[in-house]
Amino acid sequence: MAKRDYYEVLGIAKNASEDDIKKAYRKLAMKHHPDRNQGDGAKVAEEKFKEAKEAYEILSDAGKRSAYDQYGHAGVDPNAGGFRPGGPGAEGFGGFAEAFGDIFGDIFGQGGRRSGGPQVYRGGDLSYQMEITLEEAALGKETQIRIPSWENCATCSGSGAKPGTSAKPCPTCHGSGTVHLRQGFFSIQQTCPHCHGSGKIIPEPCPTCNGAGRTKKQKTLEVKIPAGIGEGMRIRSAGNGEPGTNGGPPGDLYIEIRIKPHDIFERDGDDLHCSVPVSFATAALGGAIEVPTLAGKAEIELPEGTQHGKTFRLRGKGIKGVRASYPGDLYCHITIETPVKLTEYQRKLLRELDESLQKGGDKHSPNAKTWADRVKDLFK
């Protein structure tokens, strides 16, 4: 059966660019991939997949494409003395291994072909919990912490091998750090299970570091806490995590903030709340009282007859968050204290006051009157 024109197979024009060829092949490969087509249509899909692969293999190579444009299929037929797909030693459709790396590396997120050599891995991230006060969170601070660090082993100078010995190339991957597994026309690259990607083995590990090549130490790190930081926020310290493998970059250190409970204030975002106890007489007569803020003292004016639970708002007396353009507010919640441990004389005065208030009628206790009316309505 005569082969179809390669441009027709990929559905592209003869003047298509390299990107057009690659995109067309990617689309067909995704559509007809054997893993995506099972059942009755599997055989047809496999044939179309092979056909698209062969077309891509020829048209993605400038030399082969030129020969094909001049002589057609005869120009790239290995039996006709022309270009052979994949070159010497190729299997089946030859250069598919390269096409697999370029195309399926993009499809499955591998980033194309990898170069040889030991596999490089980024170090792991570390987490550190730091507890600070509310004042420190509001104003910021600079402090120091002790964190683990790693240094080259002094015994083996970082080689991991016992003094007088040396590491040897891994016999499984021959020092590349990777092994290739073939299944059908797929070639899958994996980290070598023997040397774990290092490309070498250590017959006699260093007794100090057990072959790791490094030892664990402690170091002091300067940390700057930004003003306005909140509970649970994290500060990233780049490069202060665990070291990488085979020369890979180190991980990062994340400092997670925990704020201690405060004796007076409770934080709600950038706002602060506090309870302000006042005496019965002060609430009844009114007047100026002092209230605390994180920056010092402030004053609020209580109106005559202030009720329990009344809230006063002090604008801008809260916390300016790390992402805020202006500070939050302070909410002062009035709590009226009931006198305790009264003397007999004080009890006598309170009874006289209560009798006087009752003679004045409902005007002295508007809330009690309203509440009593609601109770009567409930039991009608």
DSSP SS3 for 81: coil
Closest CA to 311 of 343, 253, 272: 272
Q: Name the domain count of the chain.
A: 4
169-200 per-position pLDDT tens digit: 888 888 888 887 766 556 677 788 888 777 88
Question: Domain limits at 131?
Answer: 117-150+212-260
Q: How far apart are CA 82 and CA 96, in angstroms?
A: 18
Q: Has residue 246 been placed in a domain?
A: yes
Strands (E), the chain: 126-132, 141-152, 168-169, 178-183, 186-191, 200-201, 214-225, 234-237, 253-259, 266-268, 271-279, 287-293, 296-302, 311-314, 330-337
Q: Has residue 195 been placed in a domain?
A: no
pTM exceeding 0.75: no
Query: CA dist 231 to 91, 132, 321, Å?
Result: 61, 10, 11
DSSP SS3 for 239: coil
Structure tokens at 256: 């997670």
Q: Has residue 178 been placed in a domain?
A: no
Q: Are residues 356 and 301 in the same domain?
A: no
pLDDT, tens digit only, all 380 positions of the chain: 567 898 999 999 988 888 889 889 988 888 888 777 777 777 888 888 889 899 898 998 888 888 888 778 777 776 554 343 444 333 333 344 444 444 444 433 333 334 455 667 788 899 999 999 999 999 999 999 998 888 888 888 888 888 988 888 888 888 888 887 766 556 677 788 888 777 888 888 999 888 888 888 888 999 999 999 999 999 999 988 888 876 778 889 999 999 999 999 999 999 999 999 999 899 999 999 999 999 999 999 999 999 999 999 999 999 999 989 999 999 999 999 998 999 999 999 999 998 888 887 676 776 666 656 666 666 66
Q: Are 315 and 335 in contact, with CB atoms under 8 Å apart?
A: no
CATH number at residue 268: 2.60.260.20
Q: Has residue 80 been placed in a domain?
A: yes
Neighbours of 283 (CB within 10 A): 22
Q: Has residue 53 been placed in a domain?
A: yes
- Residue that is last in its domain, among 260, 293, 317: 260
Instruction: Please name the amino acid found at residue 285.
Output: L
What is the residue whose two structure tokens read 């002060």? 282
Q: Are residues 94 and 130 in the same domain?
A: no
Q: Are residues 241 and 135 in the same domain?
A: yes
Query: CA dist 161 to 100, 149, 175, 203, 295, Å?
Result: 38, 21, 16, 8, 60
Q: Are residues 216 and 131 in the same domain?
A: yes
Instruction: Please name the amino acid found at residue 31.
Output: K
Q: Are residues 222 and 93 in the same domain?
A: no
Q: Has residue 161 been placed in a domain?
A: no
Q: How far apart are CA 340 and CA 195, in angstroms?
A: 77
Q: Has residue 173 been placed in a domain?
A: no
Q: Are 237 and 112 in contact, with CB atoms under 8 Å apart?
A: no
Q: How far apart are CA 34 and CA 114, in angstroms?
A: 24
Neighbours of 178 (CB within 10 A): 18
Q: Are residues 146 and 279 in the same domain?
A: no
Q: How far apart are CA 296 and CA 38, in angstroms?
A: 74
Q: Are residues 246 and 136 in the same domain?
A: yes
Structure tokens at 191: 């980290």
Q: Are residues 59 and 140 in the same domain?
A: no
Q: Has residue 193 been placed in a domain?
A: no
Q: How far apart are CA 21 and CA 340, in angstroms?
A: 90
Query: CA dist 121 to 13, 118, 197, 364, Å?
Result: 43, 10, 9, 77
Q: Are residues 250 and 329 in the same domain?
A: no
Q: Are residues 141 and 25 in the same domain?
A: no
- Residue that is last in its domain, among 82, 107, 132: 107
Closest CA to 173 of 102, 119, 248: 119
DSSP SS3 for 41: helix
Q: Are residues 72 and 36 in the same domain?
A: yes
Q: Are residues 128 and 83 in the same domain?
A: no
DSSP SS3 for 326: coil
Q: How far apart are CA 9 and CA 4, in angstroms?
A: 7
Closest CA to 294 of 323, 262, 322, 324: 262
Query: CA dist 290 to 16, 263, 276, 301, 333, Å?
Result: 80, 17, 9, 9, 13
